[in-house]
Structure 1
Amino acid sequence: MKFHGNEKWSIYNGLASTAAANMVNGYIPLFAISVLGATNQQIGLIVSLPSIIGMLALIPGAIWLNKVQSKKNFAVISTFVARLLFSLILFVPFLGSPYAAWALVILIALLNFPGALSGLSWQSMIGDLVPEKRRGEFFSSRNRYNTIAAMAVTFGTGVFLQQFDKGHAFPYQVLFIAAFLFAAAEVYFLIKHKEPEKRKNEEIVEEKRKKFSLHLFKHKPFLAFVVSALLFNFTAQMAWSLFSIYQIKEANATALWLSLFSVTNQLAQIISIKWWANAADRRGNSFVLFIAAAGMATAPALTILSANLVYLTLINLWIGLFVSGTNLLLFNQLLKASPEKGRTNYIANYNFLLSIVGFIAPQLGVMLLNGLGMAAAMNLISLFRMAAAFSFLFVALKLERRVMAETI
């Protein structure tokens, strides 16, 4: 598939963004635990607090975005501010214990305010710039390139960190500086996008009038997507903190092993993402999304079967096969279920609800860990995930066919 114009700049933008994120994000738990001495509670807050801040950002964010003439400029500004705030983590180790760990928690939470605005504006912008008929193939290709970049950056970062004592802050500070340089390139490529002619005033007025409203959920395809997606995201995010805690505290994984976990996961995504896109074209997005979500449901239960690092590497290979499909198909389903007119409001409403889920779910996961232990908590989460995955099957077999029949 050949890319020109906006699609080409989106590919470059994605590569720079992926490099910046994967250089540091995957190692934040290790940084927090090994360098700053963070507790399980603080790790849980690092995962969950950004969601509640993001939720607060989406309320004014959707209003601001509907007022602006250029979604691209909005995305550029919010992305730059988010990346600039992230670079401030460079100075956190200088605060010392016990303030450093709490400073990291607070800073990661706060930077998600512009981060949420960045994500909302990018999703709305790219939905306008890429025609629906090209989205499946384009996003599968973009995700594949991003995953290759993530794999290379993650492995290189793991090798770099392995050269230092895991309790030293210096190598992480080097990474924060390098990540900011990639983030600057990300913003540059975002600026290079070209928007279509400014929207007509009546279209902008219509979007302003909608803002946040229950009226949006009267659109049946969107409602069906929101219910099933939130159910699955809730059960998926319950385990986010637990994976890191298990790998670092129980399996004693070093930075190099963490990078190997990520690399094998990303390698599986590269191998499988084209298959998921083609399968969705043949069988329907919702049905194939059910298969991907069901595969992801096995992750927590399989992870805690052994603390052997080679075994955990292989499990991450297995999980990656389904992560690629879930990420691709969830985003495609969101765009498909959101009408073109007023899409920003639909996406904002979904992200608003997703932020609530993202705050509650990791905290509930840590509560299960503290109350039941790692094995019981992870097995329960696998069962919850599997039950949620069946909601996509229900949408595929019942709701989508019913809506299709009503429109004929």
Structure 2
Amino acid sequence: MLSPEAHVTSERREAGLRQLVVEAAFSNTTAALTTGVILPALALHLGASNVMIGLLAAVPFFAQFGQLPGIWLVERLRARKRIAVISSVVGRLALAVIAVLPFLAAGALPLLVLATAVLCLFGAVGGCAWNAWLRDLVPEERMGDLFARRTVYATITLLAAGLIAAGGLELSERGLVSADVTFAVLYGTGCLFGMLSAVIVARMPEPAMTAPQETHLNLFKVLRRPFRDPNFSRLIVFVAAWQFAINFATPFFTVFLVKQLGYGMTVVIGLNIASQLANALTLRQWGRLTDTFSNKSVLRVSAPVYILCIVGMTGASQIDGEGARLVWLTVLHLLMGGAMGGATLAVTNIALKLSPRGESTAYIAVNSLVSAIAAGVAPILGGLLADFFSARRLELALRWINPDGVTGLIDVRLMHWDFYFLISGALGVYALHRLSVVREEGEIDRSEVVRHMFVRTRSTFQNFSTVTGLRAITELPAGLAREERVRRRWTRMNARRLPVV
């Protein structure tokens, strides 16, 4: 059941692609109940400091070094499904360990870090095999739409699981249920769904890998290949800069909302759900855009929006009215969810697209490792600087004084986490500069992508006026799919200067 198949029939492949989409519901239920805002919430419940929060945020990224033995195992055993399934089962057993930590009298925080490291380390080993497996299983021309549909399924389950988690934590805040019991149930349920995910993955087909070109595997020689590819090395620099920029501030959103703004976990999870909802509603559109145009074109739209939203978080501390502040945060999270969906999908796809077939394992692993280092260093540095920025404050006041009194024109107060959001924005601008030098076939001007999105969005809203229109926005019309296939075929024929038949 876990062995590769020398020949995967079209029926088996299509069944595997359907299972790939369904599996997202189970694996992402696990993620929704055990990661995101839940992990820092548990850490705060156990008495974690800002440095500990930063360390927990960094652990998943540094655990990506598990891809190094993952590469060795893939190249040596050439059984990617077996590696992915076994790693998934062993790693997710750590969730059962975390489920009992709230009941420990002492030593819970070090064990939380250790269990998280085990979970993420085995996840990295399995992820290395998983990514290389998908590269051979999923047709290139269907990557954008398929992964978008998978992420839509995932986001829907994230929403449902997030509501359940929010309900449990709300009961805990009201004193109706012990917080220890709530976290234990969340992590125990997450462990169960993780095991069900592994069962589904075990049923998917794995195309057999081609024979190795070298009988003796030199790991460092394999890892040097992506750096010798000029275009892929430019992509690595962009991804590293991008990951450092967004992870310098985003891991501390929960701390900012709870400690600086004084919100409870119910509001924090509610904002997170709003972000995931926006992600789900826009992902299919992003997927079609990556297939129709290019991943880089999508990044040139989604990445700046996300960076601006991070900077916009500083506005929450400037708004005095509770209602207006909550509306501002909700709008920002909706925009961030939509933009992050496009950015994540495009970054993943462009790395897959620029890695040559047969060598994708090393290319994807190197891309992940470099970005993991950047993303891991960022929150640790942020945690170490927390005390420095907590003792600083920047105020900018502009007032008009006349005989009738004083009129305030500008009154800006920046404190603590506000500095993180501004620094993250500046780093994001540099990342966008690095993106400009990456080359991808089919990239177009950003204004064309925006125009296309506007036209599609306008037609979608117009369709709300009829029952037929409501049905149209829930499925991809066959005519549209056929039109996009014909357009891509026409573009390839023109590029190759072939006559039209």
TM-score, length of structure 2 as denominator length: 0.74
Whole-Å Cα distance in 1 between the matches of residues 288 and 22 of structure 2?
24
Moved more, 186-195 or 86-95: 86-95
Give the structure 1 partner of residue 335 of structure 2: 318
Q: Which amino acid aligns with 1:331?
A: T
Give the structure 2 partner of residue 359 of structure 1: 376
Give the structure 2 partner of residue 68 of structure 1: 77
Q: Which of 248, 258, 274 pairs up with 2:284?
A: 274
Say whether 1:16 aligns with 2:59: no
Q: Which amino acid aligns with 1:91?
A: V
Say whether 1:163 aligns with 2:206: no
Whole-Å Cα distance in 2 between the matches of residues 50 and 74 of structure 1?
19
Whole-Å Cα distance in 1 between the matches of residues 249 and 219 of structure 2?
38
Q: Which amino acid aligns with 1:141?
A: R
Give the structure 2 partner of residue 404 of structure 1: none
Q: Which amino acid aligns with 1:230?
A: A
Taking a change above 3 Å as real, the CA distance of residues 8 and 282 of structure 1, as seen in their structure-2 partners, is: closer
Whole-Å Cα distance in 2 between the matches of residues 248 and 333 of structure 1?
36
Give the structure 1 partner of residue 209 of structure 2: 199
Q: Which amino acid aligns with 2:86?
A: I
| Long gaps (5+) in structure 2 | 1-10, 318-324, 390-415, 445-495
Structure 1 residues 347-401: Cα deviation after superposition (integer angstroms, max 9, x where no partner): 1112221221132111122244332322122111112112212322332599989
| 1:47 Cα deviation after fit | 0.6
The answer as to whether partners of 2:102 and 2:183 remain within 8 angstroms in 1 is no
Give the structure 1 partner of residue 42 of structure 2: 31
Moved more, 75-84 or 275-284: 275-284
Q: SS at 2:209's partner residue? A: coil
Give the structure 2 partner of residue 145 of structure 1: 153
Give the structure 1 partner of residue 423 of structure 2: 380
Flag the structure with higher helix content: 1
The answer as to whether partners of 2:27 and 2:193 remain within 8 angstroms in 1 is yes
| Long gaps (5+) in structure 1 | 402-406
The answer as to whether partners of 1:369 and 1:377 remain within 8 angstroms in 2 is no
| 1:316 Cα deviation after fit | 0.7
Say whether 1:395 aligns with 2:438: yes
Q: Which of 298, 304, 309 pairs up with 1:294?
A: 304
Q: Which of 338, 346, 349 pairs up with 1:332?
A: 349
Taking a change above 3 Å as real, the CA distance of residues 223 and 164 of structure 1, as seen in their structure-2 partners, is: same
Structure 1 residues 251-307: Cα deviation after superposition (integer angstroms, max 9, x where no partner): 233232122112110111122112222333343211221221111111322113115
Q: SS at 1:304's partner residue? A: helix
Which fold has the larger relative contact order, with Cα–Cα distance below 8 Å and residues 6 or more apart in sequence? 1
Q: Which of 239, 255, 258 pairs up with 2:268?
A: 258
Q: Which amino acid aligns with 1:314?
A: V
The answer as to whether partners of 2:297 and 2:443 remain within 8 angstroms in 1 is no
Q: SS at 1:6's partner residue? A: helix
Q: Which amino acid aligns with 1:28?
A: L
Whole-Å Cα distance in 2 between the matches of residues 135 and 331 of structure 1?
10
The answer as to whether partners of 1:124 and 1:344 remain within 8 angstroms in 2 is yes
Moved more, 233-242 or 128-137: 233-242
Taking a change above 3 Å as real, the CA distance of residues 121 and 252 of structure 1, as seen in their structure-2 partners, is: farther
Give the structure 2 partner of residue 233 of structure 1: 243
Alignment of 1:99-248 (within 5 A): 99-165=107-173, 168-196=179-207, 198-203=208-213, 205=215, 212-248=222-258
Give the structure 1 partner of residue 87 of structure 2: 78
| 1:36 Cα deviation after fit | 0.4
The alignment-based identity, stated in percent, is 25
Q: Which amino acid aligns with 2:103?
A: F
Taking a change above 3 Å as real, the CA distance of residues 205 and 137 of structure 1, as seen in their structure-2 partners, is: farther
Whole-Å Cα distance in 1 between the matches of residues 375 and 440 of structure 2?
28
The answer as to whether partners of 2:162 and 2:269 remain within 8 angstroms in 1 is yes
Whole-Å Cα distance in 2 between the matches of residues 61 and 115 of structure 1?
10
Whole-Å Cα distance in 2 between the matches of residues 341 and 9 of structure 1?
24
Q: Which amino acid aligns with 2:338?
A: L
Flag the structure with higher strand content: 2
Alignment of 1:301-312 (within 5 A): 301-306=311-316, 308-312=325-329
Taking a change above 3 Å as real, the CA distance of residues 245 and 381 of structure 1, as seen in their structure-2 partners, is: same
TM-score, length of structure 1 as denominator length: 0.90
The answer as to whether partners of 1:52 and 1:355 remain within 8 angstroms in 2 is yes
Moved more, 172-181 or 294-303: 294-303
Whole-Å Cα distance in 2 between the matches of residues 264 and 13 of structure 1?
23
Taking a change above 3 Å as real, the CA distance of residues 311 and 173 of structure 1, as seen in their structure-2 partners, is: same
The structure with the larger Rg is 2
The answer as to whether partners of 2:241 and 2:427 remain within 8 angstroms in 1 is no
The answer as to whether partners of 1:295 and 1:319 remain within 8 angstroms in 2 is yes
Give the structure 2 partner of residue 90 of structure 1: 99
Number of paired residues? Answer: 399
